[in-house]
């Protein structure tokens, strides 16, 4: 997870919110300044920042740095910032480093060091008292225009997700409220990243201003926590001063550096809350109108596509009907032609049969005629023979 570091020493942790496994732990940082020697002539040698850091790490053994980084480097000095796990060991490390010397390979000159505990950048009571006292556009009788609201940045999202929600990539306002209610009654909380319209709201409520919207970071989030009583605000600020956030789950612990400041923007005044609500309602209405327009356009497009599809289907059906009609006509004509051919064939066969029959009848008649003539001839011959016999 972004902005988190594995924690190996939880001895200084104080419980913040038990049900959420959240703790606060002192930040332990020290500043180290290494004086560089005056290099004479073009020797071509250069001080190795990496070697300086390695030598410093070696000097504090067996202790180790969580982080060690160079914050400024010039020809005269190198300024570093180191962080360790346990604030109680800061003095021990300062004793190991302050006024000590470093010797680097290739250099005859020694490097002198100074070390001191780093000052944590955190607003004091004087800061907010003087700010609200001197601000001309603030009315301390109104919520949000007095020291009652804390602005927190870079809180790990998953640490504040709802246990009952399956979406662990979104913080929960309920969880946030419960965590900070340990210092007193909370009047209002706001997590801008949960508002999908916040970017548009900021643009609408601050026209022409420079937009620095960065509330929706995903892995981390920013939030505003407003207390009903000043004493609760004080307790929260005092508790968080010089602290980092720690999440402990079983034997595993993670820490995250968070930014804490008092709100200077009147973010949770009734006026600004109402202004954001009205702007949100306006945007929601515009979104609803856009969705209605999109829905109607989609419905019209679907209707058009449906009508075109139906028209095409009707044309296809008509085309198929015409094709079938043509086939039927063709088949009917073919059947008619076949019927004509069949009738002609039958008629021809009938004629041929009749002709054969007539021929047969003619042959029979001829046979009969020949037989009759033969009989007549025989009869005539008989008569003639009889007459001849009589004469004889």
- pTM here is 0.72
- pLDDT tens-digit map of 328-355: 999 999 999 999 988 888 888 888 888 8
Cβ-contact 163, 249 below 8 angstroms: no
Q: Give me the residue label for tokens 């246990």.
A: 163
**Computed from CA positions of residues 271, 274, 275, 276, in that sequence, does the dihedral angle turn out positive or negative?**
positive
Distance of alpha carbon 83 from alpha carbon 81, whole angstroms: 7
Q: What percent of the chain has pLDDT over 70?
A: 94
Any long-range contacts for 284-291 (C-beta under 8 Å, 24+ apart)? 284/197, 287/197
Higher pLDDT, 2 or 302: 302
Spatial distance between the Cα atoms of 276 and 311, rounded to a whole number of angstroms: 51
Q: Which two tokens stand for residue 97?
A: 């480093």
Q: Which domains can be identified in the chain, with CATH numbers?
A: 28-117 (3.30.70.330), 125-268 (3.30.70.330)
> Do 16 and 56 contact (CB within 8 A), yes or no?
no
Q: Over the chain, what is the mean pLDDT? A: 89
pLDDT tier for residue 39 given thresholds of 50, 70 and 90:
low
Q: What is the DSSP letter of 209?
A: S
pLDDT at 45 over 90: no
pLDDT digits (tens, 9 = 90+) for 196-233: 878 887 776 665 544 444 544 578 999 999 999 999 99
């Amino acid at each position: 997870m972004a902005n988190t570091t594995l924690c190996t020493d939880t001895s200084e942790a104080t419980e913040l919110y038990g049900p959420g496994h959240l703790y606060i732990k002192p930040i332990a940082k020290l500043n180290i300044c290494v004086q560089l020697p005056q290099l004479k002539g073009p020797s071509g040698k250069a001080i190795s920042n990496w070697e300086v850091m390695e030598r410093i790490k070696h000097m504090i053994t067996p202790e180790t740095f969580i982080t060690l980084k160079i914050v400024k480097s010039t020809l005269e000095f190198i300024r570093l910032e180191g962080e360790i796990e346990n604030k109680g060991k800061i003095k021990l490390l300062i004793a190991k480093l302050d006024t000590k010397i470093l010797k680097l390979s290739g250099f005859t000159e020694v490097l002198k060091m100074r070390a001191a505990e780093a000052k944590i950048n955190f607003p004091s009571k004087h800061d907010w008292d003087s700010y609200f006292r001197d601000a001309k556009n603030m009315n301390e009788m109104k919520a949000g225009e007095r020291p009652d609201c804390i602005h927190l940045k870079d809180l790990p999202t998953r640490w504040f997700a709802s246990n009952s929600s399956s979406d662990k990539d979104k913080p929960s306002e309920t969880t946030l409220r419960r965590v900070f209610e340990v210092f007193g009654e909370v009047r209002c909380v706001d997590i801008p990243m949960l508002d999908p319209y916040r970017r548009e709201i900021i643009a609408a409520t601050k026209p022409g201003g420079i937009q620095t919207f960065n509330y929706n970071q995903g892995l981390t989030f920013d939030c505003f926590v407003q207390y009903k009583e000043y004493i609760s605000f004080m307790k929260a600020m005092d508790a968080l001063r010089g602290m980092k956030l720690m999440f402990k789950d079983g034997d595993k612990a993670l820490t995250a550096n968070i930014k804490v400041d008092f709100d200077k923007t009147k973010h949770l005044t009734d006026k600004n809350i109402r202004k954001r609500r009205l702007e949100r309602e306006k945007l929601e209405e515009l979104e609803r109108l856009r969705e209605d327009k999109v829905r109607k356009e989609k419905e019209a497009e679907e209707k058009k596509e449906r009508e075109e599809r139906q028209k095409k289907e009707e044309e296809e059906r008509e085309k198929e009907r015409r094709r079938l009609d043509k086939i039927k006509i063709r088949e009917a004509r073919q059947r008619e032609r076949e019927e004509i051919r069949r009738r002609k064939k039958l008629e021809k066969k009938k004629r041929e049969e009749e002709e054969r029959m007539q021929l047969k009848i003619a042959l029979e008649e001829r046979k009969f005629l020949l037989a009759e003539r033969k009989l007549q001839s025989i009869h005539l011959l008989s008569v003639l023979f009889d007459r001849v016999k009589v004469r004889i």
